[in-house]
Amino acid sequence: MNGKSAETIRINEIFGPTIQGEGALIGQPTVFVRTGGCDYRCSWCDTLHAVDSEYRHLWQSMSPQEIWQEVSSLTAGNPLVVSLSGGNPAIQPLGPLIDIGHDHGYRFALETQGSIAKDWFSKLDVLTLSPKPPSSQMQTDWSKFDACLNAAGDSPDIALKIVVFDDEDYEYARDAAARYPELPLYLQPGNHTPPPPDALDAPIDIEGITTRLDWLTTKVVQDKWFNATVLPQLHVLIWGNKRGV
């Protein structure tokens, strides 16, 4: 697999090593491969630069081998976790990249809303399914979500992660958890201040985020919802909305 011979992948940015800021792998050393393009337009999206076609000029078409060379250079050959994110990375043909990385001892984690199923999900080490709650102004198609689970099979570790902004989102999360009681569940308070797509270091409302974290934690404990794990966006608390960390 050389040059452009393989199907290319739309890349918004590749960066790291840094730490994973959320979900099942929070705190772990990670390199991020962020793809361009998404089938959703969430009202509070914090990565519009990787979603909206208005920013397509910022994306690059790269072969799996070209992406791998960048990842390998950033990690100096140390086999870290590679996080495949977006946008919706499920749009892209990521199977060959995963194969290359596995040959070198790397692990691959992917987060997607569960709207597009791909057969290469079964090659992942960790799959985080993050259906979008009512505050996103998107609708969840649970049949497509189930198709993602079926595509993954028993191969990757699968977790459910839901962003919560308000009581309606909270009830959505309760319903989703009841649908999939076998999946580990992570709840994340929403970021009050998603950055402008072209901002490199937009300010954040720390007080607002911590207030929502306190509200969500208190609600989960009061409801005795003890199989839910509440986590902040660690990277936002450390670096704000700065990109590339």
User: In a 3-state reduction of DSSP, which class is residue 206?
Assistant: helix
Give percent of the chain above pLDDT 70.
Answer: 89
Q: Which fold has domain 9-239?
A: TIM Barrel (3.20.20)
For residue 57, count other CB atoms closer than 10 A to its CB.
6
Nearest CA to 120 among 79, 71, 64, 167? 64
Question: 157 phi and psi, to 5 degrees?
Answer: -75, 130
The pLDDT tens digits for 37-53 are 999 999 988 888 888 87
Q: What is the pLDDT of residue 2?
A: 41
Q: Where are the domains of the chain?
A: 9-239
Nearest CA to 162 among 202, 118, 220? 220
Q: What is the pLDDT of residue 58?
A: 86
Q: Which two tokens stand for residue 85?
A: 């994110």
User: In a 3-state reduction of DSSP, which class is residue 100?
Assistant: helix
Q: Which two tokens stand for residue 157?
A: 């570790």
Q: Specify the DSSP class assigned to residue 7.
A: P
Regions of the chain where pLDDT drops below 50: 1-4
Report d(CA 233, CA 242) in Å as an integer: 13
Q: What is the pLDDT of residue 240?
A: 62
In this prediction the pTM is 0.90
The pLDDT tens digits for 101-151 are 999 999 999 999 999 999 999 999 999 999 999 999 999 999 999 999 999
Report d(CA 144, CA 135) in Å as an integer: 20
For residue 203, count other CB atoms closer than 10 A to its CB.
10
